[in-house]
Structure 1
C-alpha cells in the first residue's frame, strides 16, 4: 500500500497523480547520479588522450632503441622506412654529450692551472681573463649553451656539406634531408658510446696525464665521426659521371676551409685582446 507524500491519501501502485491533491507521483530523476556519471565520462575522455600520448612516446622510444642497437651491431644499416627523425635525435644527443665533456674538461683544466700558484699560472690566469674565456666556458647553463651552440655549428657544417655531396653522388635531386641524417647516424651512432665515455672522463681532468687520456678519447670520437661522414657520402653501388672520391675530397676542402676561416678569425680576435691587455709583445 502506498500513500501520497503531500496529503497522505492512499494511492494505487503505478498511479501517476494523487486523486485528491493532484501531486505528481512520478519518481524524480537522480540528478546527483547523472552529474556523477557525466563527471566520470569527462574525466575518462581527458585521461584517454593522455594515456594515448604516453603510449605513443613509449612506442617511439622503443622503436628508436631497436634501431639504435641495430646500427651498433651493423653500422651503416639503413632503410627508407625508418622514422625520419631518428638520425637527428642521435646526432643531437652526441652533440649534447660532446658539449658537456668539453665544458667540464675546460673548466677543470682552467681551475687547475689558475691554482698552481707559480709564475706560469699567474700568466695563464691573466691571459684567460683577458680573453674572457672564464665567462664563455663557466660551469652552468650559460656556459653549456655557449659550448653546445659551437658544437652544433660544427655538426651543421658537416651535415650541410655531406648532404650536398650525397645528392651529387646519388644523382637524386629530391633526396630527403632527413633520410641523409638517418644514413649518417647509422654510421656514427657509436659516437653516443664514445662521447658518453668522454663526458665521464672529463670529470677526471686535472693534470697532464688525465688530459692526455681525454685527448685520446676525443680524437677517437672525431675519427669515428669523420669515417662515418665519409661513408655516408659514398655509394659503391652507384656509378656517377664525376668520381665520388673527388666529390668527397671537395666536400672536405669546403669543410676545412670554413673551419680555417673561423679559427683564424677567432685567433685574430684573441691576439688583439692580448695585445690590448699586454701591449706590444
Structure 2
C-alpha cells in the first residue's frame, strides 16, 4: 500500500512545507500524526467503496430452488400437453415432486369433501327426525352417522401420508415388473417414477377441478362431480401405468401382457389394504 503524500501547506498554520517534511518549520506541527490520520481515512473510504460496489451474492440454495421449480413446471406443462412425448431424461426427482403435489391435493380434497358430506348427512338426519316428530310418531333412536375424528389438518395429514405410501408402493411394483420381469436393467426407481408421472400428470388438472367443485357446489352435486373426476384420475393413471410397462422393448422374461396383469393384480390387493387403512384412520 502506498504512503500518504505530505500536504504542500501546514494544516495548522498554513506555512509552505518541504516535500517529505515530518514537522512544520514554522509552527512545529507534527505532520506524521496528520499523515497517519489521512492514511486511515483513505483506507476507510476505499473499504466503503468496495463494500458499496461489491454486487450482492444470491443465496445458492434459493437460486437452486428457483431453477428447479422453473424447470419442473416447464416439464410439467410439456407432459400435460404431450404425455407420450414426456422427457424421460429430465431431473429424476420431477416424478416424486408430481406425486407429492398430487398427494397434497388428494389430502385437501379429502378434508374438504369429508366435512361437507358429513355435514349434509347430519342435516338430512336432523330434518328427517324433525319431520317424524311433527307426525307425532314415537321418538326412536336413529343410527348416528360416523363423523371424522380429529381436526381438518389431522385428516389432511393422514390422507396425505397414506396417498404418498399408496403411490410409492404402486411405483415400486411397476418398477420391479419392468426391471426384473421385462429386463430393463437401466431403469431406476426414481426414473420410473418420473416416467409414470409424465404419462399421468394430467391428473393434476382433474384433481384441481374436483377440489373446486367440492368446495363451491352443494354436497350432492359436488360429491357427484368429485367421484367423476376421481374416476377420470384413476383411468388416466392406469393408462399411464400400462404404457410405462408395455412401451419397453422386452429383452427377456415373461410376456409384457402377463407382466402388466401381475402388476395390476398386486396393485388391486394393495388398494384394498390401503383403503381399509384409510377408512379406519380417518373415521
- TM range, smaller chain: 0.7 to 0.9
Is the CA contact (8 Å cut-off) linking 1:4 and 1:23 kept in structure 2? no
Q: Could you tell me how far 1:53 is from its partner in structure 2? A: 4.8
Q: Could you tell me how far 1:189 is from its partner in structure 2? A: 0.7
Alignment size in residue pairs: 258
Return the TM-score normalized by structure 2: 0.77
2:31 is matched with 24
Q: Could you tell me how far 1:11 is from its partner in structure 2? A: 3.7
Select the structure of larger CA radius of gyration. Answer: 2
Whole-Å Cα distance in 2 between the matches of residues 156 and 9 of structure 1?
Answer: 85
Whole-Å Cα distance in 1 between the matches of residues 157 and 222 of structure 2?
Answer: 25
Is the CA contact (8 Å cut-off) linking 1:108 and 1:205 kept in structure 2? no
Q: 1:108 aligns with which of 112, 116, 121?
A: 116
Is the CA contact (8 Å cut-off) linking 2:102 and 2:204 kept in structure 1? yes
SS in 2 for 1:82: coil
Is the CA contact (8 Å cut-off) linking 1:169 and 1:233 kept in structure 2? no
Q: 1:49 aligns with which of 42, 55, 58?
A: 58
1:277 is matched with none
2:80 is matched with 72
**5+ residue gaps, structure 2:** 1-6, 131-140
Is the CA contact (8 Å cut-off) linking 2:75 and 2:87 kept in structure 1? no
Q: What does the per-residue CA deviation read over 1:170-204, in whole Å, with 9 as the maximum and x for residues that have no partner?
A: 41345221111111011101011111111111114
Q: Could you tell me how far 1:35 is from its partner in structure 2? A: 4.5
- TM alignment of 1:1-281, pairs within 5 A: 2-5=8-11, 8=13, 10-18=15-23, 20=25, 21=28, 23-24=30-31, 26=35, 27-30=38-41, 31-37=43-49, 39-40=51-52, 44=54, 47-50=56-59, 53-116=61-124, 117-118=126-127, 123=142, 126-128=144-146, 133-136=147-150, 138-139=151-152, 141-173=153-185, 175-204=187-216, 206-263=218-275
Q: CA RMSD in A?
A: 3.1
Return the TM-score normalized by structure 1: 0.78
Aligned CA distance change for structure 1 residues 187 and 37 (closer, same or farther; 3 Å): same
